[in-house]
C-alpha cells in the first residue's frame, strides 16, 4: 500500500433498490478509496447447495475497477445459509447445555465440523475464482471476527482428549497431578473414561479446554489462509478483523482468540474498533486496540471496522468523526474503514448505523467524512506507515484472562481486563505510548519499562525472562496475582510471588478483599480520597524492598501494599492491590522521571492527548488530539509544519486545539 | 341487559366444604346479581377422558335460578386436565427452547394442536348441552384470557410457512427482499428449506411470526364462538375477558392478542382490569382499559374481572372499592365483576384474594361491596349504558408494539406502552376523555384531536389516512418513531418521517439517546426541571414547521425537538423526543385551548378526575372521582341531581368530594 | 470423648508433593489432635470400577497412630468418580428441566438410583474393612452434607406417587380435596395418571414433594448408618456434618434436610459452620448453628467444619480465629475442626483457604491455631461437655420454610429464615440463650418462653400443644403467618389465627404489605425510626387482648399490630408484622423482666456476648466474648477463676475484655 486507505464495508446484496452507481459517486465525492465486500453473504453467493451466483460481487468489482476504488474481499464463511442448517443440522454449534444453537444468528456454526468445513472450503474457492481477474482487489479478509463460539460437542470432546493425550504422552497420572483431579473425585484412570468437560469444576481443566478452543480458531484461520493464498496475486494481502473483549464496546484482550498466535495466518493485522462517543469519547479504545493490533506483527495495521454513526447513543458530535479517524492514524493504522456505508433496513443491526442513514441522503456524518477523505488524500504521504519506538510495554495473556474468569476476584469485582485497562489507561492519560507483548516475547530489553498486570497463570520460563529483564536494568512493574499459578493453573506451592519474589524483595501468603482499607504513603501529590485499596489486596511482607505504601487499617497496618526494590541493574515495583487510576498515574509519573523519560508530553495530559511517530521520510509527526469540549492550548516543542493549515510553527509557539479537534505537527527533522 | 351487573367469579368446585346456600345468601345480601362460573374447571367436568360430570355447574345454576342471580358460563378450555397431558403430551405448548411446558399451570397447551382442539370442542358441546335449559344463564364467556402462549412447534412452523407462501403468492424473492433476508446469509431459496424462526435475528420475520401467532389466537376464539353460538338462546350473549399488557398490573396494549380483530367473535366486549391500590390507586388503569375495551365495539362493555382484595399490597383502603366500581361505570362499563367471590385455599393464587377472605366471614371489603351493590341497584336506570362522544382519540397498534420490542429504544428504556401511557395519562390527568382507534380506522374525522404514539410500523394507507385527517382540519399529534418502518418492519428508505414529513413540515435522518439534553422553549408554565428530553431523540430539521422546542445542548442546539405545522385545514404537532408527563400536559392544554375544547373540566385536574357521558334517557351524567386522601372542592357547572344524596344541585354550587370518594351529578338536560 | 477435639480435614490425596510427616509434625506443634479424612476421595479409593486402593487412607492412619492423632473417617459417597458417570450416566441427578447434571461437581448424583446405591454400599464396606484395625479411628462421618439434590426423575416421581397412595390409603378424592387440585383443572382421577410434579403450580403438592425429597435424604443417611454400624468398634461413634441454609454463609434452617429426623441415624450430631469475618464477625452464626445442632440430640455436638482462612474476604484479623474457636465451645461444641488443613492448589475451592496457605509455611493463622491448640489442651477438662439449661426456645419447621418459599411474602422480601433470625438474633444480642425445638416437641413446658416464628404450616396437634403450653403458664410469642395453613399447606378456612386465636385474644382476615406504616405504642425506649412495620402486616382485631402497638397509618389505625393476652396461667404475645431488631429486643427485654429472668447478662449486650453452661464437675463456666474492635469492661458477677490467666476473680470485679478477645470465668460453685 502506498497511500492511506479510507473506506467502508459495502453490501450491494442488502440494497432495497438499485443504487450502485449512485453509491460509487457518493463514495468518490467523500474520498473513499477502498471498500470491503462479501464477508457476510454466503446465502446470496450460494443460494442453494452447490449453486453459485457471484453477480453481486462481480458487479461491485466492475464498478470499483471503473471508479478506481480498491476492494478487500471477505470470505463469507462466518454466517451459514439456511439450507445448510436445514439439511445438516449438525453444523450448528452445540452449547454447554447440550443444545445446538437454532438457526438465525451468524457465528453459530461448529467451526470444527467436517460438513461445515467442506462447504466453507468450496465457497471460498468458488469466490476466489470469481474475483481473480480484478485489479481493484488489493487483499482478502479471512472469515470475520473468527472465534470458536464455545463449541463443545462430542467430536470436540474427543479432539480435546486426543490433544491432552499427545500433550501428556499418554501419562494420565501426570495430568491427574497437574490438574489436581483427585479433588472431589474427579480423578481419571483411563483415557476412554475421560468425561466431557462441560460440567467441570476444575479450573485447570476448564482453562486448558478454553486454550484448546482458541487453538481451534487459530487452526481454522490458518487453514483458510492457506486456501486463499493459493489464489493470491503478487501484492495482494491477507488480513483479518480481530476484535476485542466487549463491554458495550471494544474494551480489552479478546478472551476467545489468541491474537498473537492467530495473526501468523495473516500478512497484515487488522481489527474492529468500537468505542463510546459523545461525552464519553476519550480515544482510549482507539489507542488501546490500535497499540494491541500494531504489536501483533510489530508493524502498521488496518482498521477494518469502526463506527460511523453506530448505535443511537454513539451519534457523533461535530468534529468527533474526524478526531477519531486521525487518532487511528496516530496509533499506526494505515486505514480507517467504517462499518458500514449505509444503514441496514432490516434485522438486528438496523440501529448500528453507517455513514449514510437509511434514507441514503447526505447527512452531517457524510459531510464530515468528505472532509476526512480529502485530508487523508492530501496528507497521505506524510501520515502513512507511521512507525513507533515506544519505551514502555504491557505484557498480556489470554491464559491469565481465562484463569481469572475461572478464579475471579472476591465478590466478582474487577476482571483481568480491568487490571489491564487500569495500567493502560494510566499510561494513555500521561501521554506515555506503549506496545503490548505476549508472554512468549524474547526481546523485552527493548523497553525501559515493562508493566505486567495480573499475570495469574504463567510458566517458569516467562517468569525467568521477567527476572532477567529486571536484572539487566529494566523497570519491572507487576500487579497482585502475578505468577500465582503455573501454566496448568495450579497454584504454586512455594512462597509467593513465585520466582519474582527475589526481584520485588517481598513475599506473602495471605490476601483479602479490601473493605475500607486506605493506603498510607508519602505521595503528597495524590488527593487523600484516591488513596484506597481496591478489588484485591495481598498482605505483603518485605524482604528487602522499600515500602512505597502500606495499608492504613488497624488489622493490616503491618503489611505493605506497594513496594520498590533494586534487583541487579533494574528496579522493580510491586502493586499488592488495585488502586485508583490517579494513584497509579502518580506512581508511573515518578517512575517515568526516574527513567529519565519524563518530558514535554507529560507536561499536559488527557484530555489533551499526544501521540507521535516517524513517517516514511524519517520525519517526526506529532498528533495533538483534543478529547474535550473546551479549547486547549499547547506549546509546540519543535519547529515544523502544522499539516491541516500548512503553516510553519516555531518551537515554543502556543497554539489552540479546538474542541473535539486536532493538530498535526510534522517536525523539521 | 337492562340493569347494571354486579358480580364475581364463583367456583363451587374449589370449596373446602358445602357452602352453596350460604354463599348465595351472602351474595344476595351484597346485591350481587351475576356470577361467572366454570371457566377453569375442565378436570372437574371431565375427570376422565370421555366421562362427564357437570353436577357442580348445574347445582350452582339451580341455586341461581332460585335466587334470581344471573350466570355467565365460561368454557373451561384454558386449563387442560392432567389426564390429557399424560396421555397426549403433544398437547403441551412448545417453548422457544424446543421443550414442551411441563404439566401444571394453565395456559400452557398448544392451541393449534388437533388433539387439544378435539377435546376442547367436545367439552364445550357437552357443557353447552348441560346448561341449555337454565333461564339464569345470560351469556357465555369463550375460554379465558386467550393467547397463543408462544406456540412455535414444528406444526406451527409449517403453518407459518404456508401462511407466508399464500401471502406472497409463492414469491420467495419478494419475501427475501421485503424482510432483508440477505443480511447475515439468512436468504431462503426454497419454501421447503424455510428454517424454524425461533432463532431468527430478523425482526421483520420475528414480527411477522408474532402477528401470525396472534392470528392463531383470533382464529381460536372465532371457532369457539361458532360452536357456542350453535347453542345460544335469543338474548344470550357471547363475550370474552380480554386482558392487557402486564407490568405488575394491567398496563397497556396487549402484545399477544389483537383485540380489534379478536373482538369480532363476540357480542359484547369484556375485559379483566387489575390495578395498583392504596396510595398508588389513580384510576388510570380503570380508565385506560375501559376506554380501550369500549373502543373495540364502540359500545358499552363488561368488566368481567377486577380485584376485590387482590394481592396483599392491594388490600383496599376504606372507600377505594366503591370508588373503583363507579369509575368502571364512568368509562362505560355495564358490569363490575370481581375475581373472585372467595379466596382460594390452595395453589398459586392463594394470595390473590376475593371479596371474602379464606374464612368466608363478613369483612371490611364485603361490607363495602354491600353498599356498592345497593347503590348499583338503586342507580342502575340512571347509570346503565353510558354513552361517550369523545373529541380525542389515540391510535394504537399491536404491530408497532411488537416491532418496538424487536427494535427497542437505546438502553432498553421505555417501550411502546410507555409511550402510549405517556400520552394517555396526560389526557387522563387533564380530564380529556378519549377513544382508541386501530390503524384500520376509517372514520378519523370524528375526532378533533388524534394522538399517534410511536407508530413504528405502519402501512402507507394508514399514513395517508393520517395525512388526509390533518388536511381536512384534524389536529394530528405524533411522536418520534412514527412511520419509521413499513408494514414488513423494513425501515423506509426515504426521508423521515415517511409520508407525514409534509404534514409536520420537518425531516430527519439522525437520532440519538438523550444524555443530559434539555428542552429550550417559551413554555413558561412548565418548571425548568421538567424540560428534559427522554428515552429517544430525533434530530429534527424544520421544513416549514414552527419550532415549539429545540434541544438545549451544545452539540444538538441546531435541531428541533417539538414542532408545529399547519397542513391543509389542520394542525400537526410532532414530538421528536419523549418528555415528562408535565411537559406533555402543558402542550396538550395549549392544543385543547386552540381547538376550543378547553373548559370547566380542565379547570381541575388529577387527582380530581371528571368523567362523563349520556345515559339512556339522554341525560348528561358527570362523575367526580377523588383519587386522593384529601377532601377536594368542586364547582358544579350545571344544575342537576347528586345521585347518592338525591339532592338537587345548582349550577355553580360548591361541593366537597371526600377522600377516595365520588359524586355523580345527573344533569337536568 | 474425654477431651476437646481440635482438628482439621486432611487430604493426603490432594498433596502436590510428599508431605505427610511434615504435616503431622506441624499438626502436633499446633495441638491438633484429630483429623477428618477420606470423605471426598472416591476416585482415589476406587480408581476403576471394582479396583480398590486405600493406600492414601491407611498411610495417614498409620502416621496418626504413631503420632497420637485421632481420625474421623468419612465415607466418600458424596462425589462420584468419572468412570461411574461415563458408564452409568443414569446415576447423575435429573434437574427440574429434565436434564441430567453434567459430570464435574460433587453432590450431583441421584441418591435414589440403585446403580449409585450399589456402588456406594460397596465402597463403604471396602473402606470400613480397610480402616477396621486402626486404634486412632474414633468415629465415622456418613457421607458429607447429604441432601436430595433436587432429584425428580421418573423413578422418583413413581416413588412419590406410591408414597402418596400409601399415605392416603388409595383415597385420591381426599388428596384432590386436601390439595385443592380442582383449581386450574389439576384434579387427578386415577393414580396412573398422576402427572410429574416438576411443573406443578400447586404449593400443597410442591411442598409435599419436597418433604418427600427430604425423607429420601433421611432414608439415605439411615441406610448408610446401618452399613457403617456393622463395622463399628465399641466406642467408635457415627456422626455427620449437617449444614445450614446458605446466604453467602451459614444462615438458617436447612431447607433440604430435616435435621431433627435425619439426626436419628447418628450417635453424635455434627455440623459445618461458616460465617462472615473481619468487621462482620458477630458470633451470631456460631451461636445459631451451635444452638441448633445441640438441640438435635439435646446434647453436645461436633463442629466438623468451620473456616480457618476461608474466602479472601474472611481472612481473620488477629484474635478472631481464637475468639471463634472458644465461641463454639461456649455453645456446647466438643470439637472445633477446620476445613481444612491446607489450601488446595486446583479447582473450585482454591480460594477457600485452610489453616495453611498454598505455600504450606507457617503463617499468621497457623500461629494463632497453635495458641488455640495449647489452650484447648490446657482447659479441656474445664470446658468439655458444657451443659445448658436454657429458659427460652424457638420452634422451627422445615415445612414452614418450604411453604413460605412457595407462598412468599409480598414482593419477595423476607423469607422464613429471615423471620427466624430476626427472633434468634434479638435473643443473642440480649444474651438470652435458647434451644431450638421441632413441631413434634412434647416437652415445651421446660421453657419459660417459647418463640414461634412464622409457623405457616402446622398440624392441629402442634397448635394444641402450643395452646396448652400457654395455658399451663408458658410465655408464648408468635409472629404473623403462624398457623395460617394446615399440614397440607391448605389455608385454614376458619378465622385466623387458627386454634391460637383464643390464646392471643385476636382475630384477623385481612393483611397487606406495609408501605410507610409506622407503629404507635408507648415504648419510649425505642427510637422513633425503629418503629416501622416491615415485610408483612396482618390487620389484627382484638378480642380481649391488650394492644401493645397499633398501626400508625390513616387507613389502618383501627387495627392492632402487636398484642398481649393472658391465657390460662400464661401470657401470649402476637406480632402481626415484622419489626426492626431493636424493636423486638425492647419487647423481649420487657418479657424477660416479666418472667423474672432478666439479670446481669442483660445489663450488657452485643457486641459483648455472654454464654454459659455447667461443666462436668458441675461448675458454672461463663464466656465473655468481645465481638468488637474496642476494649469492653465487664463486671464479673460471681467469684471464680479466669481460665486463661488462671487468676482468681472476685464477685463484682471489673475486668477488660480486649478487642476480638475473650475471658472465661469458671465460677467457684
Q: Could A347 and B509 be called an inter-chain contact, meaning their C-beta atoms sit closer than 8 Å?
A: no
Q: Please list, in sequence order, all residues whose beta carbon lies within 8 angstroms of the beta carbon of residue C553, skipping any fewer than 6 positions away.
A: C516, C517, C518
Cβ atoms of residues C38 and C11 within 8 Å: no
C-alpha torsion angle, residues C375, C380, C383, C385 (rounded to 10): 150
Instruction: Please state, in angstroms and as integers, the Cα–Cα distance from residue B568 to each residue in A582, B473, B504, B597, following that order.
Output: 62, 7, 11, 21
- Determine the pLDDT at residue A544: 97
Q: Is B618 left (phi over 0), alpha (psi -120 to 50) or beta?
A: left
Residue length of chain C: 669
Query: Using a CB-CB distance cutoff of 8 angstroms, which residues of chain B are in contact with residue A357?
Result: 509-510
Residue whose C-alpha is closest to residue B611's, from B276, B278, B290: B290
Q: Where does B44-101 show beta strands of DSSP type E? A: 70-74
Write out the three cell numbers for C442: 412434647
From C288's Cα to the closest Cα of chain B, the distance in A is 32
Cβ atoms of residues A410 and C313 within 8 Å: yes
Write out the three cell numbers for A23: 453509491
Whole-number Å distance between alpha carbons of B130 and C388: 69
Sites in chain C below the pLDDT cut of 50: none
Three-class SS state of C279:
helix
DSSP A660: T
Nearest residue of C to residue B51, measured between CA atoms? C189
Residue whose C-alpha is closest to residue B34's, from B111, B140, B113, B132: B140
Over residues A443-495, the pLDDT tens digits come to: 999 999 999 999 999 999 999 999 999 999 999 999 999 999 999 999 999 99
- Determine the pLDDT at residue A668: 87
Whole-number Å distance between alpha carbons of B80 and B76: 8
- Determine the pLDDT at residue A396: 98
Over residues A511-559, the pLDDT tens digits come to: 999 999 999 999 999 999 999 999 999 999 999 999 999 999 999 999 9
Q: Is the pLDDT of residue B22 over 80?
A: yes
Write out the three cell numbers for A590: 515518578
Residue whose C-alpha is closest to residue A407's, from C312, C305, C355, C338: C312
Whole-number Å distance between alpha carbons of A245 and B168: 42
Cβ atoms of residues C94 and C100 within 8 Å: yes
Residue whose C-alpha is closest to residue C72's, from C109, C127, C14: C127
Cβ atoms of residues A412 and C311 within 8 Å: no
- Determine the pLDDT at residue A540: 98
Q: Could B358 and C509 be called an inter-chain contact, meaning their C-beta atoms sit closer than 8 Å?
A: yes
Q: Measured over all CA atoms, what is the biggest interatomic distance in chain B, rounded to whole angstroms?
A: 76
From C39's Cα to the closest Cα of chain A, the distance in A is 9
- Determine the pLDDT at residue A106: 94
Q: Is the pLDDT of residue A669 over 90?
A: no
Write out the three cell numbers for C565: 393476652
Whole-number Å distance between alpha carbons of A540 and A560: 5
Cis before residue C481, ω within 30 degrees of 0? no
- On average, the pLDDT of chain B sits at 97
- Determine the pLDDT at residue A118: 97
Give how far the C-alpha of residue A634 lies from the chain's centroid of Cα atoms, to the nearest Å. Answer: 30
Per-residue pLDDT band for A12 (boundaries 50, 70, 90) equals: very high
Instruction: Please state, in angstroms and as integers, the Cα–Cα distance from residue C304 to each residue in A200, C132, C144, C273, following that order.
Output: 27, 22, 10, 8
Q: Could B350 and C203 be called an inter-chain contact, meaning their C-beta atoms sit closer than 8 Å?
A: yes
**C-alpha R_g of chain C:** 26
Residue whose C-alpha is closest to residue A16's, from A308, A354, A311, A358: A358
Q: C202 in contact with B at a CB cutoff of 8 Å?
A: yes
- Determine the pLDDT at residue B1: 76
- Determine the pLDDT at residue A503: 97
CB pairs under 8 A between B and C: 159
Out of C82, C348, C358, the one facing A493 most closely (by C-beta) is C358
Whole-number Å distance between alpha carbons of B475 and B469: 8
Cβ atoms of residues B517 and B532 within 8 Å: yes
- Determine the pLDDT at residue A1: 76
A74 forms bridges with which residues in the sheet? A141
From C189's Cα to the closest Cα of chain B, the distance in A is 6
Q: C80 in contact with A at a CB cutoff of 8 Å?
A: yes
- Other CB atoms within a 10 A radius of the CB of residue B108 amount to 23
Write out the three cell numbers for B215: 392470528
Query: Using a CB-CB distance cutoff of 8 angstroms, which residues of chain B are in contact with residue C496?
Result: 358-359
Whole-number Å distance between alpha carbons of B181 and B474: 39
- Other CB atoms within a 10 A radius of the CB of residue A349 amount to 16
Query: Using a CB-CB distance cutoff of 8 angstroms, which residues of chain B are in contact with residue A40?
Result: 183-185
Three-class SS state of B571:
strand
Q: Where does B456-569 show beta strands of DSSP type E? A: 475-479, 506-507, 511-512, 518-521, 534-538, 541-542, 546-552, 560-567
From C154's Cα to the closest Cα of chain B, the distance in A is 13
From C104's Cα to the closest Cα of chain B, the distance in A is 24
Q: Is the pTM of this model over 0.90?
A: yes
Residue whose C-alpha is closest to residue C330's, from C253, C431, C254: C431
Give how far the C-alpha of residue A474 lies from the chain's centroid of Cα atoms, to the nearest Å. Answer: 25
Whole-number Å distance between alpha carbons of B311 and B304: 18
Three-class SS state of A158:
helix
Q: A133 in contact with B at a CB cutoff of 8 Å?
A: no
Q: Could B185 and A80 be called an inter-chain contact, meaning their C-beta atoms sit closer than 8 Å?
A: yes
Out of B190, B491, B513, the one facing A345 most closely (by C-beta) is B491
- Other CB atoms within a 10 A radius of the CB of residue C306 amount to 26
Percentage helix, strand, coil, to 5, in chain C? 35, 25, 40
Cβ atoms of residues C610 and C514 within 8 Å: no
- Other CB atoms within a 10 A radius of the CB of residue C603 amount to 13
Q: Kindly report the CA angle at A590 between A586 and A594, in degrees rounded to 5?
A: 165
Element (H, E) at A375: helix A364-383
Write out the three cell numbers for B439: 390503524
Q: Please list, in sequence order, all residues whose beta carbon lies within 8 angstroms of the beta carbon of residue C113, skipping any fewer than 6 positions away.
A: C90, C91, C155
C-alpha torsion angle, residues B297, B298, B304, B309 (rounded to 10): 140
Whole-number Å distance between alpha carbons of A141 and B471: 54
Q: Please list, in sequence order, all residues whose beta carbon lies within 8 angstroms of the beta carbon of residue C4, skipping any fewer than 6 positions away.
A: C329, C334, C335, C336, C376, C377, C379, C380, C383, C384
Question: What percent of chain B is modeled with pLDDT above 90?
Answer: 99
Over residues B353-402, the pLDDT tens digits come to: 999 999 999 999 999 999 999 999 999 999 999 999 999 999 999 999 99
Q: C204 in contact with B at a CB cutoff of 8 Å?
A: yes
Q: Could C494 and B47 be called an inter-chain contact, meaning their C-beta atoms sit closer than 8 Å?
A: no
Per-residue pLDDT band for A99 (boundaries 50, 70, 90) equals: very high
- On average, the pLDDT of chain C sits at 97
Query: Using a CB-CB distance cutoff of 8 angstroms, which residues of chain B are in contact with residue C555?
Result: 278, 317-318
Q: Could B493 and A16 be called an inter-chain contact, meaning their C-beta atoms sit closer than 8 Å?
A: yes
Whole-number Å distance between alpha carbons of C432 and C413: 27
Whole-number Å distance between alpha carbons of C655 and B574: 79
Cβ atoms of residues C72 and C34 within 8 Å: yes
- Determine the pLDDT at residue A630: 97
- On average, the pLDDT of chain A sits at 97
Residue whose C-alpha is closest to residue B479's, from B419, B532, B524: B419
Out of B193, B494, B511, the one facing A82 most closely (by C-beta) is B193
Whole-number Å distance between alpha carbons of B136 and B142: 18
Mutate to test the interface with A, among C317, C347, C366, C367 (most CBs of A within 10 A): C347
Q: Please list, in sequence order, all residues whose beta carbon lies within 8 angstroms of the beta carbon of residue C120, skipping any fewer than 6 positions away.
A: C75, C77, C224
Whole-number Å distance between alpha carbons of B497 and B482: 7
Cβ atoms of residues B336 and B5 within 8 Å: yes
- Determine the pLDDT at residue A52: 98
Amino acid at each position: 500500500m502506498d497511500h492511506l486507505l479510507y473506506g467502508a464495508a459495502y453490501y450491494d446484496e442488502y440494497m432495497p433498490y438499485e443504487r450502485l452507481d449512485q453509491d460509487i459517486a457518493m463514495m468518490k465525492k467523500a474520498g473513499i478509496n477502498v471498500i470491503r465486500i462479501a464477508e457476510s453473504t454466503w446465502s446470496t453467493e450460494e443460494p442453494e447447495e452447490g449453486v453459485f451466483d457471484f453477480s453481486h460481487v462481480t458487479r461491485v468489482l466492475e464498478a470499483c475497477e471503473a471508479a478506481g476504488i480498491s476492494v478487500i474481499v471477505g470470505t463469507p464463511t462466518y454466517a451459514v445459509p439456511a439450507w445448510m442448517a436445514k439439511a445438516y443440522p449438525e453444523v450448528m454449534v452445540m452449547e454447554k447445555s447440550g443444545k445446538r444453537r437454532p438457526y438465525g444468528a451468524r457465528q453459530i456454526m461448529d467451526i470444527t465440523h467436517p460438513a461445515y468445513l467442506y462447504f466453507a472450503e468450496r465457497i471460498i474457492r468458488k469466490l476466489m475464482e470469481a474475483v481473480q481477474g480484478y485489479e481493484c482487489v488489493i487483499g482478502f479478509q479471512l472469515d470475520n471476527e473468527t472465534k470458536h463460539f464455545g463449541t463443545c460437542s462430542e467430536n470436540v470432546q474427543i479432539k480435546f482428549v486426543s490433544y491432552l493425550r499427545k500433550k501428556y504422552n499418554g501419562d494420565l497420572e501426570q495430568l491427574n497431578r497437574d490438574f489436581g483431579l483427585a479433588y472431589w473425585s474427579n480423578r481419571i484412570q483411563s483415557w476412554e473414561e475421560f468425561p466431557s468437560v462441560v460440567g467441570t469444576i476444575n479450573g485447570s481443566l476448564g482453562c486448558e479446554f478454553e486454550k484448546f478452543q482458541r487453538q481451534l480458531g487459530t487452526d481454522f484461520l490458518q487453514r483458510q489462509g492457506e486456501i486463499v493464498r493459493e489464489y493470491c496475486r503478487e501484492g495482494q494481502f491477507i488480513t483479518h478483523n480481530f476484535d476485542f473483549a466487549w463491554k458495550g464496546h471494544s474494551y480489552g484482550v479478546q478472551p476467545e482468540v489468541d491474537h498473537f498466535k492467530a495473526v501468523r495466518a495473516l500478512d497484515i493485522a487488522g481489527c474492529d474498533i468500537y468505542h463510546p462517543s459523545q461525552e464519553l469519547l476519550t480515544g482510549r479504545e482507539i489507542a488501546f486496540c490500535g497499540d494491541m493490533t500494531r504489536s501483533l506483527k510489530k508493524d502498521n495495521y488496518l482498521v477494518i471496522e469502526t463506527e460511523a454513526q453506530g448505535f443511537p447513543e454513539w451519534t457523533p458530535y461535530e468534529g468527533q468523526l474526524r478526531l477519531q479517524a486521525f487518532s487511528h492514524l496516530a496509533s499506526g493504522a494505515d486505514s480507517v474503514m467504517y462499518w458500514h456505508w449505509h444503514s441496514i433496513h432490516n434485522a438486528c443491526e438496523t440501529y448500528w448505523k453507517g455513514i449514510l442513514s437509511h434514507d441514503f441522503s447526505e447527512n452531517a456524518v457524510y459531510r464530515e467524512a468528505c472532509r476526512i477523505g480529502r485530508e487523508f488524500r492530501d496528507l497521505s504521504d506524510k501520515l502513512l506507515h507511521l512507525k513507533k519506538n515506544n519505551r514502555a510495554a504491557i505484557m498480556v495473556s489470554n491464559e491469565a484472562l481465562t484463569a481469572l474468569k475461572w478464579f475471579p476476584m472476591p465478590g466478582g469485582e474487577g476482571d483481568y481486563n480491568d487490571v489491564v485497562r487500569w495500567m493502560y489507561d494510566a499510561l494513555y492519560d500521561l501521554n506515555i505510548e506503549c506496545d503490548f507483548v505476549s508472554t512468549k516475547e524474547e526481546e523485552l530489553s527493548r523497553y525501559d519499562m515493562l508493566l505486567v498486570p495480573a499475570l495469574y497463570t504463567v510458566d517458569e520460563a516467562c517468569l525467568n525472562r521477567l527476572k532477567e529483564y529486571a536484572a539487566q536494568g529494566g523497570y519491572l512493574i507487576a500487579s497482585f496475582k502475578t505468577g500465582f499459578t503455573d501454566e496448568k493453573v495450579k497454584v504454586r506451592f512455594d512462597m509467593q510471588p513465585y520466582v519474582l519474589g527475589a526481584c520485588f524483595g517481598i513475599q506473602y501468603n495471605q490476601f483479602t478483599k479490601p473493605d475500607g482499607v486506605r493506603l498510607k504513603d508519602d505521595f503528597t501529590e495524590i488527593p487523600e480520597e484516591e488513596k484506597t485499596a481496591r478489588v484485591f489486596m495481598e498482605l505483603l511482607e518485605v524482604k528487602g524492598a522499600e515500602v512505597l505504601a502500606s495499608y492504613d487499617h488497624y488489622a493490616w497496618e503491618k503489611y505493605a501494599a506497594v513496594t520498590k526494590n533494586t534487583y541487579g541493574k533494574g528496579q522493580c515495583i510491586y502493586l499488592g492491590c488495585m488502586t485508583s487510576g490517579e494513584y497509579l498515574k502518580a506512581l508511573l509519573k515518578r517512575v517515568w522521571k526516574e527513567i529519565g523519560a519524563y518530558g514535554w508530553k507529560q507536561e499536559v495530559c488527557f484530555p489533551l492527548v499526544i501521540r507521535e511517530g516517524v513517517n516514511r521520510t524519517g520525519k517526526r509527526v506529532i498528533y495533538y488530539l483534543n478529547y474535550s469540549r473546551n479549547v486547549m492550548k499547547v506549546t509546540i516543542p519543535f519547529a515544523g509544519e502544522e499539516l491541516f493549515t500548512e503553516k510553519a510553527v516555531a518551537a515554543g509557539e502556543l497554539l489552540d486545539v479546538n474542541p473535539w479537534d486536532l493538530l498535526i505537527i510534522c517536525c523539521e527533522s
